Structure 1
Amino acid sequence: MQDYEVHEESRIAQVTAVVRSTLAVEEIGPWLKNSYGDIDRVLSERQAGPTGPPFARYRMLGGGRFEIEAGFPATSPIDPVGDVGPSELPGGQVAVTVHIGPYDAMEPAYKALETWVNEHGRKVGDPWEVYFSDPSTDPAGWRTEIVQPFRPAEPELPSGDSR
């Protein structure tokens, strides 16, 4: 099992071009493959990038479904073209780790990030994954950076305090 080193970074907001969808886990892979091609084409046509590797940001909805925003960093916001539109990865404090291996084995990396954030008294935001490997290569060597935004935890109010 991989040992996950977690570290804190301060990130600046990053302009992106994305597509969005709500999907079940088993639908994500094929959807990402098609989406990245569309986004890359739009960015190239607009001479706006891509300026970095692809990413996908996830919000768990329950019932095995996720709201997903997938795309690339861009040089500037783009006007919407079909399903491709402008967005932004947020700036701020994040916890980061790197997973080596197939995507379906990333759960321990997410657990390591969650543990780190909890131990530092913070609350998690919606994470994103940055994909540094060609998915046509051997999954054992895939390198994925997982970025977990966080914010200070809300202070607990004393019992009976209704502020």
Structure 2
Amino acid sequence: MTTIEVEQREPQPVLSIRQTVPIVELTQAQGASLYELWRLLHDRGVAPTGPPFVRYHAFGDVETDVETGVPVGDAVAGAGRISQGELPGGRAVTTVHLGAHDRLGDAYDRIQEWLATHGRPAGPAWEVYEWIDLTREPDLSSWPAPADWRTQLLQPVA
């Protein structure tokens, strides 16, 4: 999938955990965050309105400022490390990556090429992990093989 699409988005209420973590601990930190988000949703009887997302606010050589979240239908109060928030509305470009994340950079490159001639970023991009269903307890063994992962990338644009 190499298509870039432009869409107009409405603001989306979310619950999320934002943290700075060492790059080497990123996978474990995201897994723990997904579980905490699922637990809060489950305990409160709240259904997510879509798959979880990850938004990198800053990505360095050693650590990253990362937000792991889930969209919800209405504003839901957070608890502990979980905060109530919102993914921005407005114009965004989007593309889809199929497969393991070792080639996810190709999708980011497509977005950067589009931005070079059509616009500029208006905030950090986010990745939507379409293969993860937080209506059920997160379980790596139930996920499809990485070759079958479908990840949507969204980049707000000015």
TM-score with structure 2 setting the length: 0.86
Q: Which runs of 4+ in 1 moved over 6 A?
A: none
Structure 1 or 2: more helix by fraction? 2
Among the aligned pairs, what percent are the same residue? Answer: 34
Name the CA distance, whole Å, in 2 between partners of 1:61 and 1:110: 13
Report the Cα offset of residue 124 of structure 1: 4.7
- Within the candidate set 141, 154, 157, 1:147 is matched to 154
CA drift of 1:147 comes to 0.5
Partner in structure 2 of residue 68 of structure 1:
66
The farther-off stretch of 8-17 and 79-88 is: 79-88
CA 1:111–1:128 in 2, change beyond 3 Å: closer, same or farther?
A: same
* Equivalent in the alignment of 2:136: none
Q: Which SS does the other structure have where 2:66 is aligned?
A: strand
Of 8, 23, 26, the match for 2:24 = 26
Compare 142-151 and 122-131 and name the one that shifted more: 122-131
Q: Distance in 2 between matches of 1:14 and 1:116?
A: 24
CA RMSD of aligned residues (A): 1.6
Higher relative contact order (CA 8 A, sep 6+): 2
Report the TM-score when normalising by structure 1.
0.84
Q: 1:138 aligns with which of 137, 145, 158?
A: 145
Q: Is the 8 A contact 1:43 1:74 kept in 2?
A: no
2:11 alignment partner in structure 1? 13
| Unaligned segments of structure 1, at least 5 residues | 152-163
Could you tell me how far 1:25 is from its partner in structure 2? 2.7
Which structure 2 segments of 5+ residues have no match? 133-139
Query: What SS class does the counterpart of residue 45 from structure 1 fall into?
Result: helix
Matched positions, count: 149
